[in-house]
Amino acid sequence: MKMNPQKQLLFKELLEKLEKSTFEPSDIKLLFLELRDHNKGSIIFEIANFIAHPEGRNKGVSFQYIERQYVKYNVFYHKDNILYDSITYNTFNKILLPGIIEFKEKDFKKSIGISRAQALNLLKKSYSNDKNFRAYFPSKLEKLEDFFLLKKIINFTVNSFVANPAINSIEVFKSLKSAISELNSKLNLGYNGHKLVNKNINDIYICIVHLLHYAEFEMWDNKIAKLRMSIKNKEQNQNNPFLHLFMEIPYNEKKVWFSWDFIYSECNLSKHIEKEQLHLFNKDIKIETASLYRNEQGILKIKVIDYKES
């Protein structure tokens, strides 16, 4: 997609701010929005859409992951079982197939005895899609042991929770470097995209988390999942606070909550927190409101306005 002269100027100004490390969260928002149309289908596109439409989101790769985990939680708490003689279209394609891929190969093989690829092949050849019923029905199996293996695969996939964040921060920064480098090269601006991201990686991460704080997903049962900023001390070390964004979904009237990481990075916040607020992090806290600003030395700082202890 061709960039008009005004957008080219805006993109150049954004790169200048990255070069000088003077950018604010609003600049990172603009950067992702400007890169969005040039990176369709990528994690950049995903985050940009989320930043642009933070309320009631019900689509995208991260939503599909969250929906998958939420279904697993519901199955677990309700003690439901998947019916092997008919599996709904959504369960088969949104829970089982991608759910198998989420596991680490080593862990999956240790638990099931076969590789993820073998499990996918067995699942696909053992069930056929009936479009009239929007469901998958079992085909004739050649071996009886395949039936028991299928049950094992399905039960393990549905009832095992994967601790991976919905968005991989390493993938975000890798894609951001490539996206900036590619557009910078086309416009012949003379910047090094990889260096720009590497020198600002903590600041960019903090801005992304701040931008997505309180963003919402609308789940299939109309419950609203909210993203929340949290600061924790690694291994209870007050000098090593780190920031992550987690997902929180109310489960029932007893105030049971589902919660897991949405995005996480090994970003030490020590230099990004003023000394007078360091005492807050003797315990893990959930941030209600916070502001970002640059101090006189140009360091991006987090000022916690309101919070709750985790």
Residue 155's pLDDT is 87
Quick one: CA dihedral 84, 86, 89, 90, positive or negative? negative
- More confident: 156 or 144: 156
Residue 158 has pLDDT above 80, yes or no: yes
Residue 256's pLDDT is 56
Residue 176's pLDDT is 96
Residue 102's pLDDT is 86
Burial of 221 (0-12, 13-18, 19+ CB in 10 A): exposed
- Estimate the crossing angle of helix 144-159 against helix 105-112, to 10 degrees: 130
Burial of 286 (0-12, 13-18, 19+ CB in 10 A): middle
- More confident: 304 or 275: 304
Residue 126 has pLDDT above 80, yes or no: yes
Contact 89, 127 (CB under 8 A): no
Q: What is the pTM of this model?
A: 0.82
> How large is the average pLDDT for residues 221-240?
74
Residue 237 has pLDDT above 60, yes or no: no
> How large is the average pLDDT for residues 33-54?
90
Closest alpha carbon to 189 in 61, 2, 45, 14: 14
Model confidence at 259, pLDDT cuts 50, 70, 90, reads confident
Residue 178 has pLDDT above 90, yes or no: yes
Where is average pLDDT lowest: 141-150, 222-231, 242-251? Answer: 242-251
> Among residues of the chain, what percentage have pLDDT more than 90?
36
Q: Indicate the helix (H) or strand (E) that contains 186.
A: helix 169-187
Residue 64's pLDDT is 82
Helix and strand numbers, DSSP H then E, in the chain: 12, 10
Residue 255 has pLDDT above 60, yes or no: no
- Residue 90 identity (one-letter amino acid): N
